[in-house]
A and B are shown apart, each in its own frame.
Chain A
Amino acid sequence: MNNRSTLYTLVGLAAAALVGNMWAESNLQKWDDALLSHQRRYKAIWEECDDLEMRREKAPKGSDEQSFRLHFQTQAYTAQMGDINVNVNSRTRSDVEDRIFKIEFAKGDKGFRRDQLRTFLFNAELLYPRVRTTSLAIKPHSEGGRRRGTDTGTERIDLWDVTKLELRQRSPKANN
């Protein structure tokens, strides 16, 4: 191999080495970016997993009627409000779907204190997503469930009868 051939070979090698060097630099840059991206995403994944773990524990595990009935009955039991009857209806609007729960308390001799009622409603709303109390009518408790005229202003203890209670869960309409 003469000098010229050697030079050309070296020029070729230098060009190849330059290309290789550029590739290696670009590859290093790629892995630099990848490592930064891994570090950033690792942190996000870790935090989101912790968040999911915590929130899933508190999340309702079912969305069927039975689950709801169980939920409301549990809250009524917790608030010492006795048995309840839950009627479920559905209503679909343009973009949302409502599940309407009509709750009837067992007619008894005792009424409910307002704090009992508030506790029940608070937990019923809080512990199930997108549930709101949409209708509530209470009146002072009357023995036997019968109102004795309009004896307004008379002294009475804090006991009330729930004449109407309706809760509603609103969900986005599924796009099928």
Chain B
Amino acid sequence: MISINHYLILASALFVIGFTGVILRRNMLIIFMSIELMLNAVNLSFVSFSRFLGNLEGQLASFFIIVLAAAEAAVGLAIIVLVFRRRGSVQSTELTQLRDLNDVD
């Protein structure tokens, strides 16, 4: 029998994998995909709670997140395209102008 714990463990695993990607990868496209992974992990937990509690509000939340993720993908990809045009690179290590200036000189 598949219980809610299995779904939650899978969702957590997906979330941690996504977060690890955000922290470790330097390519902004990959970071973006990792964020999508985290969002979908959350979706998964929402939907499974909804199913097990017999309450539709969880599904409602997951639709919101899907819409949000789509909008975010549109804006984020646009930013990445513009960054690539200007810099010729989408590495996050290239975009550290906001660091402490004392280190510059």
Partners in one complex: no
Enumerate chain A interface residues (CB-CB to B < 8 A): none
Enumerate chain B interface residues (CB-CB to A < 8 A): none
